[in-house]
Amino acid sequence: MAHKATTKSTFFKIIQPWVFFPSAALIILFVSLNLVFQESLGTFFEDAMAFISTKFGWLYVLAVNVILVFCIYLGFGRYKNIRLGGKDCEPEFTNWAWLSMLFNAGIGMVLMFYSVAEPILHFSQPPYGAAGTAMAAKNALNISYLHWGFHGWAVYALMGLCIAYYTYNKGLPLGIRWILYPLLGDRLYGIPGHLIDVMAVVATIFGLATTMGLGIQMINSGVHYLFGLAESPGVQVVLIGVITLFVVASAVSGLDKGIQLLSKLASILAIILMTFMLIVGPTVFILGSTIQSAGYYLQSLVRTGTWMEVYEGTNWMDSWTFFYWGWWFAWAPFVGLFIARISKGRTIREFVFGVILAPTIIIIIWISIFGSTALHIELFGAGGITAAVNNNIATALFVLLERFPLSYFSIFFVVIAAVIFFVTSSDSGSLVVDYLTTGGKQNNPVQYRVFWAFLQGIVAAVLIWKGGLIALQTVSLVTGLPMCILMLVAIYAIVRELKGT
C-alpha cells in the first residue's frame, strides 16, 4: 500500500494536473462523440472550418507574411548574435543531426505523401489559367513551393525561437504559454497558461493522429504494391498498431538514440531516393525545372504570398492556401517546442536561417525532382498520373515510381522511409506533449511519453476504422486560428523583451 501511495504521489508531482487531465479528457471525449455522432459532428466542424476560411482567411495571409518578414529581420537585425542559452553555450547537436530532426518533425512523411499529388492537382485543376498547359505546370510547382516553403517554416521558427529564448535565456519552463510572459507575467502559472497548453496538446495530438492516418494510407498502398496486401481500414489499423510499437521503442531509447538516430537515417534514405529519381528520370528536364521553378518562386513570392482571389470571386483558397496556413499554425506548438528543445546553443541568426532556409531548399529540390518528373510524363509522355492521383492520392508516388526501372526496390525504400518518418514524427509529438503536460519538465519517466504515443495511435486507429479522419483533421485546423492570433501577439511580446537586452 505504501508503494502505491508513493507512486501516486510521484505521479501528481510530475504532471501538471490542469493540463494533463483536461487534455486527455477532451481528446477521449471528441473521439467518443465522433464515433456516436460522426455525421453531424463532421458537418459541424466542416461548417466551422468554412466559416474560419471565409471570415479569417485574410488574417492567415497577413499573419504568415508578417511573421516571415519579422523572422528575416531577426536573422539580419541587431539581435542576430544573441545565443540561446548564453554567450558561452555550445549546441547540443551537430548541424546534421539538428537539421535532420527539425525537418523530420516539421514535415517528413507528409511531404512524401504530397510531393507528386499536389503539383499534379494544381496542374489539372489550377486556381487560375488553363489546365494541362506549360504555364499550369509552372504555376503548379510555384504554388506547391508556397504551401511548403518560407512562410510555413517562418511560423515554426517564430514559435520555436520564442520558446527557446524564454527557456534558455530567461530560465522559464519549456512550454507554449511562456511566449506571452512579457505581457502576462506570473499570471501564466494560472488559468490563462493552462488554457494555452491544453489547446496546444489537443492540436498536437489531433494533428499527429491525422498525419498518422494519411501516412498509414500511403504505407498501406506501398505494402499493397510490394506484397499484395489489401488496402483497407482493417489492415491500416493493424499497421498503426505495429508502427506504434516502433514509436514506443524509439521513446524508450531516448532523444539521442531514438529520434536523432532515426532522423539521420530518414534523411539519408530521402537523399538516396532523390538521387535515384534524378538519375532514372528525365534528368535534364528536372535540373532545368528546378532552376526555373525556384527562380519563379523567389520572383513571385510577394505576389503569390499575398494573392487572395478577391477579384475572381472563387473559393479555391479555402481548401488549399487557407487550409495550409491553418495547418502550419495548428502544428506550430508541437514543432516549435520540439525545435526549441533541440536548439540550445544556436544564435538567433543560426536558428532563423536553419529553420526557414534549409528546409525550404530541401523541399524545393524534393518537390521539383518528383513533381517535375510527374509533370514531364503528363506534358511530354504517356500521361496517366493525373488519373491515378484523382483515383487515390495515397498512391501518387508509387504510380510514378512504377514508370521507372527498379520500381520494386524504390517503392520498398519509400515505404521504409515513410515508416521512419512516421515514427520520428509521432515520437517527437509524444515528447512535446510530455513537456506540456508536466509543466516543462524534461527528464520525466518514459512511461508518460509512452502514454501519449499510445493515445495518438489509438485515436488514429479508431477514426480510421470508423471513417472519422476528416472531422479530426478539421478540428485540428480550427485550433490554427487562435494559434495565429497568439503568435501575432507573441511578436509584440518578444520585441518588448529583446529591447530590454
Residue owning grid cell 489539372: 124
Q: Is 444 helix (H, G, I), strand (E, B) or coil?
A: coil
Q: Show the CA angle centred on residue 359, arms to residues 357 and 363, nearest 5°.
A: 115
Report the C-alpha gap between 440 and 454 in whole angstroms. Answer: 21
Please say if the pLDDT value at position 5 is more than 50.
Answer: no
Q: What is the mean predicted confidence (pLDDT) over 86-95?
A: 91
The verdict on residue 412 lying in a domain is: yes
Residue 379, phi then psi, degrees to nearest 5: -85, -40
Q: What is the mean predicted confidence (pLDDT) over 105-133?
A: 87
Residue 38 has what pLDDT?
A: 73
Lowest mean pLDDT among 108-117, 128-137, 228-237, 346-355: 108-117
More confident residue, 189 or 12: 189
Residue 102: band (very low, low, confident or very high) from pLDDT cuts 50, 70, 90:
confident
- Verdict on whether the full-model pTM lies above 0.95: no
Lowest mean pLDDT among 71-80, 175-184, 234-243, 473-482: 473-482
Report the C-alpha gap between 253 and 393 in whole angstroms. Answer: 34
Q: What is the mean predicted confidence (pLDDT) over 411-439?
A: 87
C-alpha cell at 13: 508531482
Report the C-alpha gap between 58 and 252 in whole angstroms. Answer: 43
Residue 347, phi then psi, degrees to nearest 5: -75, 165
Residue 246 has what pLDDT?
A: 85
Please say if the pLDDT value at position 259 is more than 70.
Answer: yes
The verdict on residue 11 lying in a domain is: no
Residues 300/302/305/306 CA torsion (nearest 10 deg): -130
Residue owning grid cell 503568435: 487
| Helix residue ranges, H only, 320-406 | 321-341, 348-380, 385-391, 396-401
Residue 8: band (very low, low, confident or very high) from pLDDT cuts 50, 70, 90:
low
Residue 167 has what pLDDT?
A: 95
The verdict on residue 79 lying in a domain is: yes
Residue 468: band (very low, low, confident or very high) from pLDDT cuts 50, 70, 90:
low
Report the C-alpha gap between 74 and 77 in whole angstroms. Answer: 5
Residue 3 has what pLDDT?
A: 37
Residue 295 has what pLDDT?
A: 97
- Sign of the Cα pseudo-torsion (424, 426, 427, 429, in order): positive
Q: What is the mean predicted confidence (pLDDT) over 14-21?
A: 89
Residues 414 and 224 sit within 8 Å (Cβ to Cβ): no
Residue 66 has what pLDDT?
A: 98
| Percent of the chain residues past pLDDT 90, beyond the cut | 50
| Percent of the chain residues past pLDDT 70, beyond the cut | 95
C-alpha cell at 408: 520494386
b/e code 234-253 from CB counts within 10 Å (16+ = b): ebbbebbeebbebbbebbeb
The verdict on residue 189 lying in a domain is: yes
pLDDT digits (tens, 9 = 90+) for 32-73: 887 787 777 777 777 887 888 888 999 999 999 999 999 999
Region for 377 from its dihedrals, namely left if φ exceeds 0, alpha if ψ lies in -120 to 50, beta otherwise: alpha
Count how many domains the chain has. Answer: 1
Q: Could you list the residue range(s) of the whole structural domain that residue 427 is in?
A: 40-499
Task: Report the half-sphere exposure of 184 (CA within 13 A, side-chain side).
Answer: 17
pLDDT digits (tens, 9 = 90+) for 296-316: 999 999 999 999 998 888 889
The verdict on residue 20 lying in a domain is: no
pLDDT digits (tens, 9 = 90+) for 195-233: 999 989 988 888 787 777 778 888 898 999 888 888 888
Q: What is the mean predicted confidence (pLDDT) over 254-270?
A: 78
CATH number, domain with residue 217: 1.20.1740.10
The verdict on residue 140 lying in a domain is: yes
Residues 422 and 219 sit within 8 Å (Cβ to Cβ): yes
Report the C-alpha gap between 402 and 382 in whole angstroms. Answer: 13
Most confident of 104-108, 208-212, 472-476: 208-212
Name every residue whose Cβ is closer than 8 Å to that of residue 50 and which is 6 or more positions away in sequence: 318
Most confident of 253-267, 417-431, 471-485: 417-431
Name every residue whose Cβ is closer than 8 Å to that of residue 12 and which is 6 or more positions away in sequence: none
Residue 247 has what pLDDT?
A: 84
Lowest mean pLDDT among 101-110, 346-355, 403-412: 101-110
- Mean of the per-residue pLDDT values of the chain: 88
The verdict on residue 31 lying in a domain is: no
Please say if the pLDDT value at position 7 is more than 80.
Answer: no
Q: What is the mean predicted confidence (pLDDT) over 448-475?
A: 78
The verdict on residue 7 lying in a domain is: no
CB-based burial label for 284 (10 Å; 0-12, 13-18, 19+): exposed
Residue 469 has what pLDDT?
A: 64
Please say if the pLDDT value at position 103 is more than 90.
Answer: no
Residue 83, phi then psi, degrees to nearest 5: -100, 130
Please say if the pLDDT value at position 6 is more than 50.
Answer: no
Kindly write down the DSSP assignment for every residue of 114-162, as one continuous string.
HTTHHHHHHHHS-SSS-TTSHHHHHHHHHHHHHHHSHHHHHHHHHHHHH
Residue owning grid cell 470508423: 466
Nearest to 434 by CA among 220, 197, 224, 256: 197
Residues 409 and 195 sit within 8 Å (Cβ to Cβ): no
Residue 256: band (very low, low, confident or very high) from pLDDT cuts 50, 70, 90:
low
